[in-house]
Amino acid sequence: MSKIRVGTVALVGRPNVGKSTLLNALLGERIAIVSHHPQTTRDRILGVLTQKDAQYVFIDTPGMHAAKTKLGARMNHEARQAAREANVVVFVTSVGVEPVPTVGRFDASLLEQLKVANVPVVLAINKIDRATNKEALFAVLEAYSKAFDFAALVPISAKKQNGLDRVLLEVKAHLPEDELLYEADTLTDRPMRFLVAEFVREQILRATREEVPHGVAVVVDRFDESGKIPKIELSVHVDREGHKKILVGKQGSVLKEIGSKARARVESLMGRQVHLALWVRVTPNWYESDRGLMEMGYIGETDGSKDSR
């Protein structure tokens, strides 16, 4: 097989800057979950994009942030790890309606961490579609280029799919020459049951907005493909009784909507009809204990102690 540019690319940035939207736009498929809530992403998602002359293996890192809970510490750890392992980092930041020509405190501290990682970093300034004052973007670019020695600086809109080819081009320039890591038609290495749980979690975050925060975990209890129509059963663990009430809604209306929207996404990805059943269970403080995190699949048996810092 002839050699092309191949390597891993970590998407790093504060919560809510649009990393998952960017990943989905680059892949042309919605794998990562997107919501208005910060810190939607909890796991690293491996998405693979294969083009004629390059294969990009993307890691979608959870937004790095000050750790308040064990789950937070876990996310920080994953993000740093991803940056260390990657051939190239795409550092995503975003601008508002009126772009501010300074590097925020959060971004500055993340960039400090990246200096240590010593990998090429491409800056993607996202959400430029929101900026009414486009001129102000130049000052933003200048501020960032003073703060860090970026391999390239690219203004983008993940939502409107602007600037994405430029990002890929700049990333490709720093990927090593190698043979394909994955078959050309691979989209993700994540098992379908993981994606199904993520799709349900996405719909929960969308349906409940601020009322049910991040104390929610989705676990697949049964994934049975033996029949004509696959049967998937999931438990939704919430922190307290009040959250269960909100999630279920009047006569089950909210849960029904979550289930049917998630099912539609699963069916579209699997290309076939599925049965999907959801149960809501109250499991207080699951995210504050190693055991809880382990049971929900956020940490493995061996790394529990490492992340209890």
Ligand X SMILES: Nc1nc2c(ncn2[C@@H]2O[C@H](COP(=O)(O)OP(=O)(O)OP(=O)(O)O)[C@@H](O)[C@H]2O)c(=O)[nH]1
Q: Which of 150, 124, 99, 169 is nearest to 14 (CA)?
A: 124
Residues 146-165 vs ligand X: string with x where CB under 6 A? -----------xxx------
Q: Which of 59, 52, 53, 46 is nearest to 5 (CA)?
A: 53
Residue 63 is labelled as binding a ligand? yes
What is the smallest separation between the CB atom of 255 and ligand X, expressed in angstroms?
23
Residues 46-105 that bind ligand X (CB under 6 A): 62-63
**Of positions 5, 7, 20, 140, contacts ligand X by CB under 6 A:** 20
What is the smallest separation between the CB atom of 273 and ligand X, expressed in angstroms?
28
Residue 18 is labelled as binding a ligand? yes
- For residue 129, state whether it binds ligand X (rule: CB under 6 A): yes
- For residue 19, state whether it binds ligand X (rule: CB under 6 A): yes
For residues 56 and 175, is the Cβ–Cβ distance under 8 A?
A: yes
The residue among 19 and 174 lying less far from ligand X, judged by its C-beta, is 19
- For residue 36, state whether it binds ligand X (rule: CB under 6 A): yes
What is the smallest separation between the CB atom of 302 and ligand X, expressed in angstroms?
26
What is the smallest separation between the CB atom of 228 and ligand X, expressed in angstroms?
35
- Angstrom distance (rounded) from CA 198 to CA 45: 10
The one segment of 123-131, 139-147, 233-241, 268-276 that binds ligand X by CB under 6 A: 123-131
**Of positions 5, 10, 12, 21, contacts ligand X by CB under 6 A:** 21
Residue 120 is labelled as binding a ligand? no
**Of positions 9, 12, 26, 39, contacts ligand X by CB under 6 A:** 39
**Of positions 35, 81, 113, 186, contacts ligand X by CB under 6 A:** 35
The residue among 4 and 162 lying less far from ligand X, judged by its C-beta, is 162
**Of positions 50, 93, 126, 283, contacts ligand X by CB under 6 A:** 126
Residue 20 is labelled as binding a ligand? yes
- For residue 5, state whether it binds ligand X (rule: CB under 6 A): no
Residue 178 is labelled as binding a ligand? no
- For residue 17, state whether it binds ligand X (rule: CB under 6 A): yes
HSE value, Cβ hemisphere, 13 Å, CA-based, for 194: 14
Q: Which residues contact 82 (CB under 8 A, 6 or more apart)?
A: 10, 12, 44, 59, 61
Residues that bind ligand X (CB under 6 A): 13, 15-21, 34-36, 38-41, 62-63, 126-127, 129-130, 157-159
Binding residues for GTP: 13-20, 60-64, 126-129
